[in-house]
Amino acid sequence: MKDAFINRKYVIMAVVALAALVLLVRLFIIQVVKDTYRLSADNNVLRYVTQYPARGLIYDRNKRYLVYNQAAYDMMVVPAQVTRIDTATFCKLLEISTSSFRERMNAAISYSRRAPSVFLKQISAETYAGLQEKMFMFPGFYVQPRTLRKYSKPIAAHLLGYVSEVDEGIIRKDPYYKAGDYIGKLGIEEAYEKELRGRRGVKIYLVDVYSRIKGSYADGRLDTTALQGKDIISTIDMDLQEYGEMLMHNKTGSIVALEPKTGEVLTLVSSPNYDPALLVGRVRSENFARLNADTLNLPLFNRAIQAKYPPGSTFKPINGLIGLAEDVITPSTMFGCNNGYLFVGCHSHSSPLDLVHGISNSCNSYFCQTFRRILENPRYGSVSEAYTKWKEYLNEFGFGKKLGIELTNELPGLIPSPAYFDKYYGKNKWKALTVISLAIGQGEIETTPLQMANMTAAIANKGYFYIPHIVRSVGDNESIDKKFLTKQVVNIDTALFGPIIDGMEEAVNGGGGATASVAALKDITVCGKTGTAQNPHGKDHSVFIAFAPKDDPKIAIAVFVENAGFGATYAAPVASLMIEKYLKGEVSNKALEQRMVELKLSAGDKER
């Protein structure tokens, strides 16, 4: 019995000794071998400061700043470390009320007493400068550096987009983002978010009981470096963009100008617009709500790629071109006009006319008869089949679908299918005359200003275009998406574009009968076409398309001025000023420029 007791005693002693040994080894590993355990244990005196990367800069085509960064700071708080502080002084430094202080502290405590959270976002560099030397007075609070967007000029808001804080939906969708991160919205900021955002880093600091940084933890071995976002060179000409916005001030509409040989967007104006600086910093939410509530002017609406207009007579060149391609007319085909064709009216002009003068005089009768020949072409078994072929040509020019510009909110417009008319009129119950308004760009056709500028570029190039795009290069001359560098060739013989271009030249420079002579420029041969787009909701829209110079096109442009009447009245002068500004650097007709600038045609302020 005694021996059994002694044996149990030794067993118990061995178990205790073994347990003690295990604990000693574990403590040795924690305290000596693995710093990471000590890191966790010392969490109450360590501060993890996220290093937010500077967002990539955005330049115009001439490498001038459009968007850059300014310093900003987030005030962080760890509620458990906050002791008695001079609340009045703290609130005065941050320019907040004491009630706001209490609300923010309660929110931080609700989130976590020991984990850091944002107390006040986006403190300016000026506020931080006055705060920096007094931070020791406010234990539990510290400042985390951030950057905010800054704009060299108050222009191009629809092109550039803006930056806002991520929400829970974005975080669930993309694991890269965490609470407190920012993301690009709309424009270049959204389209090139992954390139612009860079990569986060983290620094770990030792802090004392007063929340003062005493140095890097582990000599910075556990820190990670933030990687700055890539810079972007856009296609935009800053001066031309600014000039276009000035011309469209107090007007509703859009200007889109392209470089025909590359598809690069030189300017993209949507009016009314807004100062992009309004959507920066703590005022962003308030300003966004105010802009979004403006249902009269719709400043957030990008008319260049979202507004859908009937193109009016600016569509006649494309219908003439299809007529040539389908062999239903030739350049010398003559059509008479007796102030219109059947129930489609026309203005007074010489008659009959050939194709070139049909374009220059903008004869409705000429293009109604051309369109009727297209749809009644005996080559096809039915009007519906011929219409399908006509629609295929238009699709090749980029109508009825999204062109594919980087801007995510682009709309496709509308070129109705035969099924559309079958549903409306009944199968095989509609004829060419049923849809004759399509001949002059009216009826069911819907186009965007971007599509019209692209069509103009394709005509200038005699049968090809590049998908419009707003970025030239990313980072260290990284190439853009190959789709923007791929030539889009229209299935129409290059030679057939000659008479169309001649007609557009004659429309501007042809003297008597020319409908767009207001757009003529000295020493620059402008080819253009006016349009008056019918508007069922009010006064017609003024439309003009053009390219120049004729023999070496460097700019193709589409201008829409809503509720402004004839294309020659307002849209053509605006386009002419834009062309001269781009090609010469300044405009010669200062009186015309002043008249366009002073003109007021915005949604709530029609011309008197």
Query: Quick one: 192 and 311 in the same domain?
Result: no
Residues across the chain: 608
Do 530 and 387 share a structural domain?
Answer: yes
Q: How many domains does the chain have?
A: 2
Distance between CA 243 and CA 257 in Å, rounded?
A: 12
Residue 88 lies in a domain: yes
Q: Are residues 462 and 367 in the same domain?
A: yes
Task: Give the model's pLDDT for residue 209.
Answer: 66
Amino acid letter at 459? I
392 SS3 class:
helix
Same domain, 403 and 506: yes
- Tell me whether residue 133 is exposed, middle or buried, using C-beta atoms within 10 angstroms of its C-beta: 0 to 12, 13 to 18, 19 or more: exposed
Domain identity same for 334 and 449:
yes
Report the pLDDT averaged over residues 79-105: 91
Both 539 and 592 in a single domain?
A: yes
> Which residue, among 236, 246, 304, 261, has the nearest Cα to 558 in the 3D structure?
304
Q: What is the crossing angle of helices 497-509 and 449-460, to 10°?
A: 110
* % of residues, the chain, pLDDT over 90: 69
Q: Do 78 and 116 touch, CB atoms closer than 8 A?
A: yes
Q: Are 607 and 601 a contacting pair, CB within 8 Å?
A: yes
Phi-psi region of 319 (alpha: psi -120 to 50; beta: other; left: phi over 0): alpha
Q: What is the CB neighbour count within 10 angstroms for residue 86?
A: 12
Taking only the tens place, the pLDDT of each residue in 121-147 is 888 888 888 888 888 899 889 888 888
User: Three-state SS string across 459-503, please?
Assistant: HHCCCEECCCECEEEECCCECCCHHHHCCEECCCCHHHHHHHHHH
Q: Based on the domain organization, do 364 and 259 belong to the same domain? A: yes
- Report d(CA 441, CA 317) in Å as an integer: 10
Q: How far apart are CA 381 and CA 533, in angstroms?
A: 33
In a domain, 213, yes or no: no
Is 33's pLDDT higher than 70? no
Distance CA 15, CA 452 (A): 87
pLDDT band at 41 (very low <50, low <70, confident <90, very high): very low
Domain annotation covers residue 315 = yes
What is the average pLDDT score of the chain?
A: 90
pLDDT score at 603: 53
Residue 573 lies in a domain: yes
Pair (173, 260) in one structural domain: no
**Is 11 among the domain residues?**
no
Please give the pLDDT value at position 545. Answer: 97
- pTM, two decimals, is 0.87
Report pLDDT digits (tens) over 521-577. Answer: 999 999 999 998 777 777 888 999 999 999 999 999 999 999 877 778 899 999 999
Do residue 375 and residue 399 come from a single domain? yes
Closest CA to 186 of 150, 156, 228: 156
Domain span at 95: 51-203+220-234
Separation between Cα atoms, residue 121 and residue 118, nearest integer Å: 7
* 282 vs 304, more confident: 304
Instruction: Answer yes or no: is 373 within a domain.
Output: yes
Query: What does the pLDDT look like over 335-362, one tens digit per residue?
Result: 999 888 888 888 888 889 999 999 999 9
Mention every residue, 6+ apart, whose C-beta is less than 8 A from residue 5.
Answer: none
Could you tell me the CATH number of the domain that includes residue 561?
A: 3.40.710.10
Q: Residue 569 CB: number of other CB atoms within 10 A?
A: 16
DSSP letter (8 states) at residue 114: S
Q: Are residues 182 and 316 in the same domain?
A: no
| CATH for 115 | 3.90.1310.10
Q: Per the domain annotation, does 159 fall within a domain?
A: yes
Residues 332 and 393 in one domain: yes
Q: Residue 5: what pLDDT?
A: 53
Assess whether pLDDT exceeds 50 at residue 394.
Answer: yes
Whether 311 and 352 map to the same domain: the answer is yes
In a domain, 136, yes or no: yes
